[in-house]
């Protein structure tokens, strides 16, 4: 298969996969497609199975690539017999990811979907939790934030309590930006892909750490 056919297949299960991501995983040694005489990549179904293993481990277990590579090395002695599924068309935008930042949701739709009022949206904007983009739409992350705020509100948390979340997130962004800066400054597309992948892993590890700390703290409060 060509890289475009592989992308079309994987996007049915991993919609945020891009051609750049597949090239990055190859550069990291997680898959090694054959090359034609003219230099084009040709993937086997075994290659697709490896890519699915990598993407699943990242999405479901937040594993770093180093650990995934070690697991693949142990599995290399076991035969892999993937089933050939049908492919889906991906159009001309195969290099674009299904990123929450690319989503445009009108203000009215956000209110209907989350059940919050316009006044609450205005309040969340004022404290910097969400940002409306001209001419008045929100991206996917803003909607996730509003949904979380609405859920916390049902337990009695008020908007003023949420400033701490914004401050903590800003501190993490500042810390991670320092870690990513050497990669971001490089013009090499591979370095850019590595920066995006590193950012994704940092986000996942941060979420994992935060959840564990809150869980441990609450366990102590509950006397467990």
Whether the per-residue pLDDT at 129 is higher than 70: the answer is yes
- pLDDT band at residue 60 using 50, 70 and 90 as cut-offs: confident
Q: Which CATH number applies to 3-75?
A: 1.10.1660.10
pLDDT of 90 reads 43
Q: What CA–CA distance (Å, rounded) separates 136 from 11?
A: 30
User: Please, what is the average pLDDT of the chain?
Assistant: 83
Shortest CA distance to 82 belongs to which of 6, 18, 4? 6
Q: What CA–CA distance (Å, rounded) separates 80 from 84?
A: 12
- What is the residue extent of each domain of the chain? 3-75, 99-157, 167-224
Which residue has better confidence, 220 or 138? 138
Contact 17, 36 (CB under 8 A): no
3-class state of residue 83 by DSSP: coil
- Dump pLDDT digits (tens) for 68-97: 888 888 887 655 555 444 444 444 343 333
């Amino acid at each position: 298969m060509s890289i475009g056919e592989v992308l079309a297949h994987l996007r049915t299960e991993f919609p945020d996969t891009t051609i750049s991501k597949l090239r990055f995983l190859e550069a990291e040694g997680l898959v090694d497609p054959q090359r034609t005489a003219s230099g084009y990549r040709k993937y086997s179904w075994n290659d697709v199975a490896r890519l699915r293993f990598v993407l699943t481990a990242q999405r479901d277990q937040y594993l770093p690539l180093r650990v995934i590579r070690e697991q693949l090395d142990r599995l290399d002695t076991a035969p892999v017999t993937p089933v050939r599924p049908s492919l889906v068309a991906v159009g001309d935008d195969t290099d674009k990811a299904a990123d929450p930042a690319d989503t445009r949701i009108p203000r009215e739709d956000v209110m209907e979907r989350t059940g919050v009022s316009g006044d609450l949206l205005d309040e969340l904007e004022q404290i910097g939790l969400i940002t409306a983009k001209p001419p008045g739409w929100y991206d996917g992350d803003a909607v996730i934030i509003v949904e979380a705020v609405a859920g916390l509100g049902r337990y009695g948390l008020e908007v003023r309590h949420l400033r701490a979340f914004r401050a903590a997130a800003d501190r993490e962004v500042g810390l991670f930006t320092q870690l990513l800066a050497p990669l971001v400054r490089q013009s090499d597309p591979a370095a850019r892909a590595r920066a995006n992948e590193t950012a994704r892993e940092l986000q996942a590890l941060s979420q994992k750490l935060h959840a564990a700390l809150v869980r441990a703290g609450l366990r102590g409060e509950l006397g467990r």
